[in-house]
Amino acid sequence: MRDLDQPTADITPRRSFFGRIAAVSALGVFGFATSMARAQAAQSDGPDWPGPLKGRHRQVFDIYDINEGFPLGFANNFLTPNESATAVMVFRHKGLPYAIGSAMWAKYRIGESFNIIDPETKAPAVKNPYFQPKPGVLPNADTALDRLFAKGTVMGACGVALRGQSRRLAGNAGVTAEEALKEWTANLIPGVTVIPSGTWGVNRAQEAGCTYCAGG
């Protein structure tokens, strides 16, 4: 009986051993698949924006309206007393025109459509009045977009607003919505990055350590 029992005693631990190997292998494959899924999810989670931010103090300005240039003043007022600071500006909704270069303003009647008055001419703007303005035009020259960018400000334009607003004004230029989007994208002011959406950008800036300021 002992000879008959011996194989049974040998088979049981062997089965347990190979069972453990199979279980570990399955967990390994599952873990690898999970890692791959996470990597793919990270790749589809949008661009790495705003990226690493310098400075001890960081604030994001959620610019959803033009508001006669005041949002730019908010950003400058934050930067001026803080020697170690970085501002992030998100242009979305009705604040998108800040990000659009002057060449588009007359063609698409941006100033007229958004009721944006050029402080230089006192008429509907036919150029971006806040980018490289003539000396003395703005109450504070340091609020100009080019000045803020020179101070290290990070700027993002809402991709949803870019698509929607360019489509809305495409008829003013007699072009298709697709042509308008392509042209507006190609004529953003230097330094502006198109981001998936404005709310996405506000979230990413806060995750990067920014406090929030409404810039409408």
Report yes or no: 86 and 175 within 8 Å, Cβ to Cβ. Answer: no
Q: What is the rounded CA–CA span in Å between residue 148 and residue 29?
A: 51
- Reported as a single tens digit per residue, the pLDDT across 4-30 is 444 444 444 444 444 443 443 443 444
Report yes or no: 117 and 104 within 8 Å, Cβ to Cβ. Answer: no
Q: Assign 46 a pLDDT band (cuts: 50, 70, 90).
A: confident
- Reported as a single tens digit per residue, the pLDDT across 144-189 is 999 999 999 999 999 999 999 999 999 999 999 999 999 999 999 9
Contacts within 8 Å (CB) and 24+ apart, 29-34: none
Q: What is the rounded CA–CA span in Å between residue 167 and residue 148?
A: 29
Q: What is the rounded CA–CA span in Å between residue 111 and residue 52?
A: 34
DSSP assignment of 114-137: HTPBPTTTSSB-SS-TTSSPPTTS
3-state secondary structure of 213: strand
Question: What pLDDT does residue 216 have?
Answer: 79
Q: Assign 42 a pLDDT band (cuts: 50, 70, 90).
A: very low
Residues in contact with 74: Cβ distance below 8 Å, sequence separation at least 6, in sequence order: 61, 213, 215
3-state secondary structure of 163: helix
Question: What pLDDT does residue 26 have?
Answer: 42
Whether this prediction's pTM lies above 0.85 is answered by no
Return the closest-CA partner of residue 59 out of 214, 210, 215: 210
- Reported as a single tens digit per residue, the pLDDT across 88-125 is 999 999 999 999 999 999 999 999 999 999 999 999 99
Q: What is the rounded CA–CA span in Å between residue 131 and residue 189?
A: 8
3-state secondary structure of 199: helix
Return the closest-CA partner of residue 184 out of 107, 94, 72: 107
Report yes or no: 89 and 75 within 8 Å, Cβ to Cβ. Answer: yes
- Reported as a single tens digit per residue, the pLDDT across 126-150 is 999 999 999 999 999 999 999 999 9
- Reported as a single tens digit per residue, the pLDDT across 65-88 is 999 999 999 999 999 999 999 999
